[in-house]
Amino acid sequence: MGDLAPLHPGARLFAECPTSSCLLPSANLCNLAGQPCVQGRTMVLPYMSEIEVMREALRDLPTVERKMHRAKELLRRKHIKGDRKAVLVELHEYVSPQANNWMVVMRHCKAGIQTFHYAWYRGMDQRMRAIYVRPGDTTAFHYSKHVFDRYSERFSPDVNAEERLRQFFLENHMYSGHTVDLMADVIEDIVSVNQGWLLGERDEEENLTYLTTFVDQGHFFEEQHRLEQKFEMDRLLAGMSLGQRMEFLRKLKVSQVPDQPGRVANGY
């Protein structure tokens, strides 16, 4: 058998893993990348596409959820002992057995606990990217390097990349998602968060939205400010229990929930 040609670091070569029917990078590429092959599962690697990153993160998510059980219980106790009307937010970092880096934001309010799971990684250019995933058949968000570049320019130019991610996710975990035109050939989404808008395109087949840029509220036009008032209401309602929503809307004398309510991950 002749000599094998050297592997390019970004090559996508796949082979059957002996411990699973799933497709994994070949043994040679695993060794080059320092990739563990544990029970037929892989870590997120720099050369992976956004869809591959999403799939690996979803495979890893149950492990992360189990790891966070203790932290959720401690947060619940802290909320019970303190002001039950208060909103407590914590960020927990975790490196899974598959060597994936996670930041998990937990938000506890009167309605219960919401959890937001973000796996972050560096691409071939060593720039930061992240994926937000939830259990079940729900839309995932992929955050491109440009999102964090734009955020850095406005809010955190003097901190390192990991600290910037912590700041971003702590400030912007609550969101409402809105589609510009469902009938368009390319489905464009606006994801409204506390500090601005994330803009991107949705892949309906893969249930993945590619977030490509961030626009802070300081750069909004007047019409966008008016639209953001509605989006902000959606985020507020999404963080409430059903009873709280009804009471809130009654006090505001609103007859119905605004059109296109935000899609927020409720991790009760």
pLDDT at residue 33, rounded to an integer: 40
Nearest alpha carbon to residue 67 among 35, 41, 100, 37: 100
107 and 28 share a domain?
no
Q: pLDDT tens across 136-176, in order?
A: 878 999 999 999 999 999 998 889 999 999 999 999 999 98
Whether 151 and 141 share a structural domain: yes
Give me the sign of the Cα torsion angle 62, 151, 231, 201. negative
Residue 6: inside a domain: no
Structure tokens at 106: 């937990």
CA dihedral over 43, 145, 239, 203, signed as positive or negative: negative
Residue 198 or 29, more confident: 198
35 and 120 share one domain: no
Q: Which of 161, 212, 205 is nearest to 191 (CA)?
A: 212
Residue labelled with tokens 């002749």? 2
The answer for residues whose C-beta is within 8 angstroms of residue 93's C-beta and 6 or more apart is 101, 102, 103, 104
Does the residue 266 lie in any domain? no
Same domain, 211 and 247: yes
Do 95 and 29 fall into the same domain?
Answer: no
Same domain, 35 and 147: no
Instruction: Write out pLDDT tens, residues 210-245.
Output: 999 999 877 776 777 777 777 777 767 666 666 666
Do 145 and 18 share a domain, yes or no? no
Q: 88 with 52, same domain?
A: yes
230 assigned to some structural domain:
yes
Give me the DSSP letters along the chain.
Answer: -PPPPPPPTT---EEE-TT-SSEEE-HHHHHHHT---BTTB----TT--HHHHHHHHHHHHHHHHHHTHHHHHHHHHHHHHS-TTS-EEEEEEEE-TT--EEEEEEEEETTEEEEEEEEEEE-TTS-EEEEEE-SSS--EEEE-HHHHHHHHHHT-TTS-HHHHHHHHHHHH--EEEEES-TTSSS-EEEEEETTEEEEEEEETTTTEEEEEEEEEGGG--HHHHHHHHHHHHHHHHHTS-HHHHHHHHHHTT-SSPPSS--------
In a domain, 166, yes or no: yes
Q: Is 157 a domain residue? A: yes
**Scanning the structure block, which residue is given the tokens 């995932």?**
140
Same domain, 30 and 133: no
pLDDT in tens, 88-140: 999 999 999 999 999 999 999 888 899 999 999 999 999 999 999 998 878 99
| Structural domain that includes position 83 | 44-251
Answer yes or no: do 115 and 235 share one domain. yes
Q: Are residues 139 and 24 in the same domain?
A: no
Question: How far is Cα 154 from Cα 188, in angstroms, rounded to an integer?
Answer: 24
Tokens of 7: 């592997």
Examine the pLDDT at 206 and tell me if it is beyond 90.
Answer: yes
- Please count the structural domains in the chain: 2
Domain-located, residue 256: no
What's the predicted TM-score (pTM) here? 0.73
Looking at residue 238, its pLDDT comes to 66
Structure tokens at 169: 């996710």
Instruction: Judge if 96 and 19 occupy the same domain.
Output: no
Are 187 and 201 a contacting pair, CB within 8 Å? yes
Alpha-carbon distance of 186 to 251, in angstroms, equals: 40
In a domain, 2, yes or no: no
Average pLDDT value over all residues in the chain: 79
Give Cα 189 distance to the centre of its chain: 15
Amino acid found at 9: P
Whether 257 is covered by a domain: the verdict is no
